[in-house]
Amino acid sequence: MNKPIGIAGLGWLGKSLALKLSTLGYQVKGTVTSHEKATEFQKKGVNAFPMEVSESGITGEPEGFLKNLDTVIIMIPPGLRRNTGADYVMKMTHLLQAIEKAKIPTGIFISSTSVYGDAQGTVDESYLPKPENEAGRQLLQVEQLFFTSSCNTSIVRFGGLVGGSRQPVRYLAGRKDLSGGNAPVNLIHRTDCIGILTEILKQQAFGHIFNAVYPKHPLKKDYYTKKAELQQLEPPTFSADSETQHKKVTSTNVAKVLKYAFQTEI
């Protein structure tokens, strides 16, 4: 196989993906935010480069990372939930310009189901997203930048990520009067995230939009109550739900284009 793949962002998901792709025979390069982290990855056999993307440009070693790549996977999170006022669109514009300058032919941009608004109800990839918050609006803009670039890019909209130490119920345990109890969950396990991304690479399935969400959507109040009991935590409680419409994201193209079947329960 031996095709050089670059992962911009060796975080919780990117690190696991890099290790998996390495076992499949891909050459893998990745980025981290410091020389110290780069050294740690080098010791594990992953060719890592320090690189940071900001509104003012890119620092570190972007040229070394991007050189001779066949595909680049962008996993740099927006970091917009904390209301920092960050301009994710500007950051990703700088990165895209560097990718185009390096003439990388194909890419995968990791987005989120937050590009859809709750008022849209049940959606698949054929629906035009109508984001209801700033993070969703900026993500949608960046999706469009990459989708129309000279780098033939697939967009992957992941639901909420679970797996390993990442279990959302730990942050909800014991909390009272939470909203949205009658909303369906839109989640995906890390194993399926890696499985879907691997299939895109194997099949060279670029130029598509993929919603990546496990096909079962229990209500939040039922799902988190059950998960809390399984982990012997105090279940959260939910207030009466006044909303009549909730977002439910379906993954039509994962089965249609990739013929991928989800492997791991959420």
* Ramachandran assignment for 144, one of left (phi > 0), alpha (psi -120 to 50 degrees), beta (any other): alpha
List the beta strands (DSSP E) in the chain: 4-8, 27-32, 47-54, 57-60, 71-74, 106-112, 122-123, 152-158, 160-162, 187-189, 209-212, 248-249
**Which pLDDT does position 245 carry in this prediction?**
84
**CA–CA distance, 96 with 169 (Å, rounded to integer):** 36
**Which pLDDT does position 45 carry in this prediction?**
78
- The mean predicted confidence, pLDDT, of the chain is 93
pLDDT tens across 113-153, in order? 999 999 999 999 999 999 999 989 999 999 999 999 999 99
- Is residue 83 scored above 70 in pLDDT? no
- Is residue 211 scored above 70 in pLDDT? yes
- Is residue 84 scored above 70 in pLDDT? no
**Which pLDDT does position 43 carry in this prediction?**
84
- Type of residue found at 213: V
Q: In the structure, how many helices (H) and strands (E) does the chain have?
A: 9, 12
**Which pLDDT does position 79 carry in this prediction?**
76
* Least-confidence region, from 12-16, 219-223, 242-246, 249-253: 242-246
Which one-letter DSSP state was computed for residue 163? B
DSSP helix, strand, coil percent of the chain (3-state; round to 5): 35, 25, 40
Tell me the percentage of the chain whose pLDDT exceeds 90: 83
Dihedral (CA of 25, 28, 262, 166) sign? positive
Give ∠ CA 219-222-224 in degrees, rounded to 5.
100
82-107: b (≥16 Cβ within 10 Å) or e: eeeebebbebbbbbbebbeebebebb
**CA–CA distance, 137 with 129 (Å, rounded to integer):** 9
Average pLDDT over residues 28-37: 93
- Is residue 80 scored above 70 in pLDDT? no
The pTM of this model reads 0.94
**Domains observed in the chain:** 4-163+188-215+244-256 (3.40.50.720)
pLDDT band at 82 (very low <50, low <70, confident <90, very high): low
**Which pLDDT does position 226 carry in this prediction?**
95
**CA–CA distance, 176 with 170 (Å, rounded to integer):** 14
- Is residue 1 scored above 60 in pLDDT? no
**Which pLDDT does position 86 carry in this prediction?**
80
- Is residue 264 scored above 70 in pLDDT? yes
**Which pLDDT does position 41 carry in this prediction?**
87
Average pLDDT over residues 189-201: 98
Give the 3-state secondary structure of residue 66: helix
**Which pLDDT does position 130 carry in this prediction?**
97
Contacts of 101 (CB under 8 A, 6+ apart): none
